[in-house]
C-alpha cells in the first residue's frame, strides 16, 4: 500500500450547492435463485414469478401483533431453538459470547438460506444498500422477520448505507473484468448503453472525478487489488495504464493517491448521507430495521442529525445508529463520533484503502477499547475469512485474525462476501462460531494469569448508580463462579452495562420489548429473551425459573446473580 497516513488541515465549511454530485447507477443486480443450502422447508413461501426475480408472497408481509406458536408454547417467554439447544447441550458457561453479523447477498437471500444462517448462529442480518434493488432488500428483511416470528429467533436487521464513496460501474452485469499489466483503460464520467460501451472503459460514479485527478496520480481499485497510473486526461475521460494487474469487480471502490497520500479534493466535501441514502433510510425506517450503519462517517454531527431524523420520522423508534469507522475523517473525530452513536463498526475494507494497511490493526484495537469504555457495541468487519469465498476452510492466518478480534472481546464479528456471495456461507459461519467458543474458553481459563485484565471497566465520573450495580454484580458473579446473571431490563441499558464488564458467565437479559430483544442480540455475552415482567422481582424470578425449568434450560442448584433495573437491586439466588 502506497503512502503514509497524513492529515490535511481541517476543511472549511462548504455550502451544500458546492457539493460535487455523485451519480447512482441504476440498480442492476438481477437476483439469481441460488440452490438452497438446506432442503426447502414447508414454510418456504417465495414465489418465483420471473426467471431470476424473486417476488414476495402475501404471508411475507410485515409481522403484526399476535402470539406466534413459539411464544405461546413457552408461556410468554420467547427464546429461539438454537439458544435452547445450546443451553441444554453445553450448559450455561459454554454458550458463545461473541456475536455474529452476516451480510445477506445473492448466495443467502432465500428463506431457507437465511434460516440456515440463523440455525448456524447468525445474530444480525446485514443488507448493504450499495447493492441490489429496494424490492430485493424488502424481501430479505421480511423473510428475516417471518423467520423470527415463526421460529422464535431474535435475528436483528442492519441496513448499511451506500454513502458517498467513489466506485466503478457494474461492468454491465459481468462478474469481473481482467486488467492486464501495461494495458490502457479509460475511466470516465460518461455513461453508456450496455450495448455501446467501448472496450476497457469504466464509468465512475463521481462527477468531479475527471477534474480532481492529475496526470501521474495512482488509481487504486479496492485498496490496491488493481492499480493504475493516470497518463492522460481528455475531457471527461481519464486514460490510465495498469501497473498492478488483477480482477476488477462490479462497483469496486476507487481511491486516488498523489505523492503517497490519499487525494481528498472535492470528494472530501461529499455529504456522508447522500440523497439516495436518505431515501434508503426512509425505506429502512418503514421496514423497521433495527440498526442503520452509516458509511464513511466524518463527524459526530451527521450521527446526531440522523438520530433526530429517525426520532422525528418514527417517534419512539428503537433504531440504533452504528458509525462505520472507515475513513481518515472518522479517525480525526473518533471519540465524539462513538460518543454520539449507538455503536461502531471497524470497517477494515475501506479503512485499509484510505490509510496504510499496517495501521489498521492498531486502529481496530483502539476503536474496540474506546467502544468498551463508552459502553457502545463494536463490530469488527471485513476480510475475516476472505479465502472462504472460494475455499471450504480458512487460512491459518485468518483464524489468527479472528482469534485476535475475539481476544480483544469485540461484541461482534461480521461476514461480508463470505456470506453474501461466497461458496461456503454456512461453513464460514461455523468457523466464526467454533473459533469464538474456543478462544472465549481459553481466555476464561487464562484470565487469572493476566493482571492487566480488569474484571470491571472503571466507572464514569460522576459514577452512576446503574453502572456501580452492574460492576458489583459482574464482580460477584466472577468471584462466586455464578452460572448466569439474570437481568430484567426495560430499556436494555442495564444489560449493556453488564455486558461491558465481559463477565465469566452469560447474561440472560429479559425484556418486554421485541425490538430491544433484537438490539441486545448484537452485544457480547447477552442472551436476550422477550418476557413481560412486573415490578415484583420475586414473582418475576419465580416465573422465569419455572418457565426455564419447564423447557429444561436450567437445573436446580445453579447459582444466579439477579439484577433488576426497576429496583436497582442485586441478589444471589440458587435455582430452587
Ligand atoms: N444485495 C446484493 N446483491 C448483489 N450482490 C451483493 C449484495 N450484497 C452483497 N453483494 C455482494 O457481496 C459482496 C460483499 O458484500 P459487502 O462487503 O457488503 O459489499 P462491498 O464489497 O461493496 O463492500 C459485494 O461486493 C457484492 O458482490
Ligand atoms: C464493511 C465495510 O463497508 P462496505 O462493505 O459497505 O464497503 C468496509 O469497508 O469494511
Ligand atoms: K455500504
Ligand atoms: Mg466500506
Alpha carbon of 165 to ligand 1 centroid (Å): 14
pLDDT in the model for residue 70: 46
Q: What is the pLDDT of residues 124-165, one digit of tens each?
A: 999 999 999 999 999 999 999 999 999 889 999 999 999 988
* Burial zone of 91 (CB within 10 Å; 0-12 exposed, 13-18 middle, 19+ buried): middle
Cα–Cα dist 252/268, whole Å: 19
Q: Which ligand is located closest to the Cα atom of residue 103?
A: 1
Overall average pLDDT of the 258-277 stretch: 85
Q: Please give the pLDDT value at position 74.
A: 56
Q: Among 129, 220, 380, 382, which residue has the most ligand 2 atoms within 8 Å of its CB, making it the best to mutate?
A: 382
Q: Is the CB of 160 under 6 A from ligand 2?
A: yes
- Please write the tens of the pLDDT for every residue from 376-389: 999 999 999 999 99
Distance separating alpha carbons of residues 127 and 141, to the nearest angstrom: 8
Q: How far is the CA of 569 from the centre of ligand 2 (A)?
A: 41
Q: Ligand 3 center to residue 173 CA distance, Å?
A: 19
* Residue 23 phi, psi (nearest 5): -105, 140
- Specify whether the CB–CB gap between 402 and 429 falls below 8 A: no
Answer for the pair 487, 507: CB distance below 8 angstroms, yes or no: yes
Confidence of residue 32 (pLDDT cuts 50, 70, 90): very low
Closest ligand to C-alpha of residue 349 is: 2
* Of residues 71, 108, 79, the one with CA closest to residue 95: 79
| The ligand 2 atom nearest the CA atom of 383 | 10
Whose grid coordinates read 431515501? 279
What cell numbers appear for 377 in the block? 457495541
Q: What is the pLDDT of residues 179-197, one digit of tens each?
A: 999 999 999 999 888 888 8
Q: Which ligand is nearest to the CA of 162?
A: 3
CA of 4 to the centre of ligand 4 (A): 20
Residue 419 has pLDDT above 90, yes or no: yes
- pLDDT at 335 (0 to 100): 97
pLDDT confidence of residue 22: 58
Q: Which one has a higher pLDDT value, 173 or 36?
A: 173
Check pocket membership of 347 for ligand 2, CB cut-off 6 A: yes
- As a whole-number percent, the residues of the chain with pLDDT over 90 amount to 65
Task: Report the alpha-carbon angle 200-206-211, nearest 5.
Answer: 85
Residues contacting ligand 1 via CB (< 6 Å):
29, 103, 105-106, 128, 130-132, 136, 349, 416-417, 420-421
DSSP conformational letter for 316 = T
DSSP SS3 for 153: coil
Q: Determine what percent of the chain is predicted with pLDDT higher than 70.
A: 86
Cis ω for the linkage preceding 462 (within 30 of 0): yes
Alpha-carbon distance 524 to 370, whole Å? 15
Strand partners, 185: 240
Site of grid cell 472530501:
268
- Span from the CA of 410 to the centroid of ligand 4 (angstroms): 19
**d(Cα 384, Cα 405) in Å, to the nearest integer?**
9
223 lines ligand 2 (CB under 6 A): no
Question: Tens of pLDDT along 515-524?
Answer: 999 999 999 9
User: What average pLDDT does this structure show over 299-310?
Assistant: 97
Distance, CA of 128 to chain centre: 10
pLDDT at residue 39 greater than cutoff 70: no
Query: Residue holding cell 476507487?
Result: 254
pLDDT, the chain, mean: 85
Rounded to an integer, what distance in angstroms lies between the CA atom of residue 517 and that of residue 530? 6
Give the pLDDT score at 5: 31
Residue 66's pLDDT is: 38
Query: Which ligand is nearest the CA of 416, by number?
Result: 1
Whether the pLDDT of residue 526 is over 80: the answer is yes
274, 325, 381, 383: residue to mutate for ligand 2 pocket, most atoms within 8 A of CB: 381
| Pairwise CA distance, residues 383 & 88, whole Å | 33
Query: In ligand 2, which atom is closest to the CA atom of 163?
Result: 6
Instruction: Give me Rg for the CA atoms of the chain.
Output: 24
Q: How far apart are CA 350 and CA 416, in angstroms?
A: 13
Read off φ and ψ for residue 470, nearest 5 degrees.
-70, -40
Spatial distance between the Cα atoms of 483 and 558, rounded to a whole number of angstroms: 6
Quick check: 431 pLDDT over 50?
yes
Q: Give the confidence band of 449 by pLDDT, cuts at 50, 70, 90.
A: low
Mutate which of 31, 33, 105, 324 for ligand 1 pocket (most atoms within 8 A of beta carbon): 105
Q: Whose C-alpha lies nearest to ligand 2, atom 1? A: 347
**Which ligand has its closest atom nearest to the C-alpha of 249?**
1
Q: Give the pLDDT of residue 567.
A: 79
Average pLDDT over residues 447-463: 70
Which pLDDT score is estimated for 75?
A: 62
Strands 291-294 and 156-160: parallel
Contacts of 34 (CB under 8 A, 6+ apart): 106, 107, 108, 109, 110, 113
Q: What is the rounded CA–CA span in Å between residue 227 and residue 245?
A: 7
Per-residue model confidence (pLDDT) at position 538: 87
Ligand 1 atom, smallest distance to 420 CA: 12
Paired with 103 in beta bridges are 126
Atom of ligand 2 nearest to the CA of 326: 9
Pocket test for ligand 2, best of 158, 162, 347, 414 (most atoms within 8 A of CB): 347
Phi, psi of 358 (to 5 degrees): -70, -10
**pLDDT tens for each residue of 67-121:** 444 443 456 788 878 888 888 887 777 899 999 999 999 999 999 999 999 999 9
| Cell numbers standing for residue 535 | 415490578
Tell which one of 175, 386, 388, 416 to mutate to probe ligand 1, the residue whose CB is within 8 A of the most ligand atoms.
416
Residue 48 confidence (pLDDT) above 80: no
Atom of ligand 2 nearest to the CA of 348: 10
> Cβ(561)–Cβ(570) under 8 Å?
yes
Q: SS3 of 75, please?
A: coil
Look at residue 33 in the predicted model and tell me its pLDDT.
35
- Three-class secondary structure assignment of 333-374: CHHHHHHHCCEEEEEHHHHHHHCCHHHHHHHHHHHHHHHHHC
DSSP for 464-504 reads PHHHHHHHHHHHHHHHTT-SEEEEE-SSSHHHHHHHHT--S
Torsion, CA 380, CA 373, CA 370, CA 293, rounded to 10: 50
CA distance 292 to 287: 12
Q: How far is CA 255 from CA 226, 258, 411, 432, 471, in A?
A: 11, 10, 30, 31, 45
What is the 128 CA–ligand 1 centroid distance (Å)? 7
- Torsions phi, psi of 245, nearest 5? -70, 160
Closest ligand to residue 346's CA:
2
What is the widest separation between alpha-carbon atoms in the chain?
A: 80
pTM across the whole model: 0.86
Beta strands in 124-208 (DSSP E): 124-128, 156-160, 177-179, 184-188, 201-203
Determine phi and psi for 297, rounding to 5 degrees.
-65, 135
C-alpha 270 – ligand 3 centre gap (Å): 15
Give residue 553's pLDDT: 84
pLDDT at 40 over 50: no
Average pLDDT rounded to a whole number, residues 433-456: 82
pLDDT (0 to 100) of residue 110: 98
Distance from the alpha carbon of residue 12 to the mean position of ligand 2, in angstroms:
27
Cβ of 348 closer than 6 Å to ligand 2, yes or no, is: yes
Residues whose Cβ atom is located within 5 A of ion ligand 3? 128, 130, 160, 295
Residue to mutate (ligand 1; options 225, 250, 255, 420; most atoms within 8 A of CB): 420
Report the nearest atom of ligand 1 relative to the CA of 350: 23
Mean pLDDT of 338-347: 98
Rounded to 5 degrees, what angle do the CA atoms 271, 273, 279 make?
A: 135
345 to each of 215, 321, 351, 403, how far by Cα in Å?
Answer: 35, 11, 11, 17
Burial category of 387 from C-beta neighbours within 10 Å (exposed 0-12, middle 13-18, buried 19 and up): middle
Q: Which three cell numbers stand for residue 55?
A: 417476488
Q: How far is the CA of 292 from the centre of ligand 3 (A)?
A: 10
Buried b (16+ CB within 10 A) or exposed e, 299-321: bbebbeebbebbeeeeeeebbbb
Amino acid at each position: 500500500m502506497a503512502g503514509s497516513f497524513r492529515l490535511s488541515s481541517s476543511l472549511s465549511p462548504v455550502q451544500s450547492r458546492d457539493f460535487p454530485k455523485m451519480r447512482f447507477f441504476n440498480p442492476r443486480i438481477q437476483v439469481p435463485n441460488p440452490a438452497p443450502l438446506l432442503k426447502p422447508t414447508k414454510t418456504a413461501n417465495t414465489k418465483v414469478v420471473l426467471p431470476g426475480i424473486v417476488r414476495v408472497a402475501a404471508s411475507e408481509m410485515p409481522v403484526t401483533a399476535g402470539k406466534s406458536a413459539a411464544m405461546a408454547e413457552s408461556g410468554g417467554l420467547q427464546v429461539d431453538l438454537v439458544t435452547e439447544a445450546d443451553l441444554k447441550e453445553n450448559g450455561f458457561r459454554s454458550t458463545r459470547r461473541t456475536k455474529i453479523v452476516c451480510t445477506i447477498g445473492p448466495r443467502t437471500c432465500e428463506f431457507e438460506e437465511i434460516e440456515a444462517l440463523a440455525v448456524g448462529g447468525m445474530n444480525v442480518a446485514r443488507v448493504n444498500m450499495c447493492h441490489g434493488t429496494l424490492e430485493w432488500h424488502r424481501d430479505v428483511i421480511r423473510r428475516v422477520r417471518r423467520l423470527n416470528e415463526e421460529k422464535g429467533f431474535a435475528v436483528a436487521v442492519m441496513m448499511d448505507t451506500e454513502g458517498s464513496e467513489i466506485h466503478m460501474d457494474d461492468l454491465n452485469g459481468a462478474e469481473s473484468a481482467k486488467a492486464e499489466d501495461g494495458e490502457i483503460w479509460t475511466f470516465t464520467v460518461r455513461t453508456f448503453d450496455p450495448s455501446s460501451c467501448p472496450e476497457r472503459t469504466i464509468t465512475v460514479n463521481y462527477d468531479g472525478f475527471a477534474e480532481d485527478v492529475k496526470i501521474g496520480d495512482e488509481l487504486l481499485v479496492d485498496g490496491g487489488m488493481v492499480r493504475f497510473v493516470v497518463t492522460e486526461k481528455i475531457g471527461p475521460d481519464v486514460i490510465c495504464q495498469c501497473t498492478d494487474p488483477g480482477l476488477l469487480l462490479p462497483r469496486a471502490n476507487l481511491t486516488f493517491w498523489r505523492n503517497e497520500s490519499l487525494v481528498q479534493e472535492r470528494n472530501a466535501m461529499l455529504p456522508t448521507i447522500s440523497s439516495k441514502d436518505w431515501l434508503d433510510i426512509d425505506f429502512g425506517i418503514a421496514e423497521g430495521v433495527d440498526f442503520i450503519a452509516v458509511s464513511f462517517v466524518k463527524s459526530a454531527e451527521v450521527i446526531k442529525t440522523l438520530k433526530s431524523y429517525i426520532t422525528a420520522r418514527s417517534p419512539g423508534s428503537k433504531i440504533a445508529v452504528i458509525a462505520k469507522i472507515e475513513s481518515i475523517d472518522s479517525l480525526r473525530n473518533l471519540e465524539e463520533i462513538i460518543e454520539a452513536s449507538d455503536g461502531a463498526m471497524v470497517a477494515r475494507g475501506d479503512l485499509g484503502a484510505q490509510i496504510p494497511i499496517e495501521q489498521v490493526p492498531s486502529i481496530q484495537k483502539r476503536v474496540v477499547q474506546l467502544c468498551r469504555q463508552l459502553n457502545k457495541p463494536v463490530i469488527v468487519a471485513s476480510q475475516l475469512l476472505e479465502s472462504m469465498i472460494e475455499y471450504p476452510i480458512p487460512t491459518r492466518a485468518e483464524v489468527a485474525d479472528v482469534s485476535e478480534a475475539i481476544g480483544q472481546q469485540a461484541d461482534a464479528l461480521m461476514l461480508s462476501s463470505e456470506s453474501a456471495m461466497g461458496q461456503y456461507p454456512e461453513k464460514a459461519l461455523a468457523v466464526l462460531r467454533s473459533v469464538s467458543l474456543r478462544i472465549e474458553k481459553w481466555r476464561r481459563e487464562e484470565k487469572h494469569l493476566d493482571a492487566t485484565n480488569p474484571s470491571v471497566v472503571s466507572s464514569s465520573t460522576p459514577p452512576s448508580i446503574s453502572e456501580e450495580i452492574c460492576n458489583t454484580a459482574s464482580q460477584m458473579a466472577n468471584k462466586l463462579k455464578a452460572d448466569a446473571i439474570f437481568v430484567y431490563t426495560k430499556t436494555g441499558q442495564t444489560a449493556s452495562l453488564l455486558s461491558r464488564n465481559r463477565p465469566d458467565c452469560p447474561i440472560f437479559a429479559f425484556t418486554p420489548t421485541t425490538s430491544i430483544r433484537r438490539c441486545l442480540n448484537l452485544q457480547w455475552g447477552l442472551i436476550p429473551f422477550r418476557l413481560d415482567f412486573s415490578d415484583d422481582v420475586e414473582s418475576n424470578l419465580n416465573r422465569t425459573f419455572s418457565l426455564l425449568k419447564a423447557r429444561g434450560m436450567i437445573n436446580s442448584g445453579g447459582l444466579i446473580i439477579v439484577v433488576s433495573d426497576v429496583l436497582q437491586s442485586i441478589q444471589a439466588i440458587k435455582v430452587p
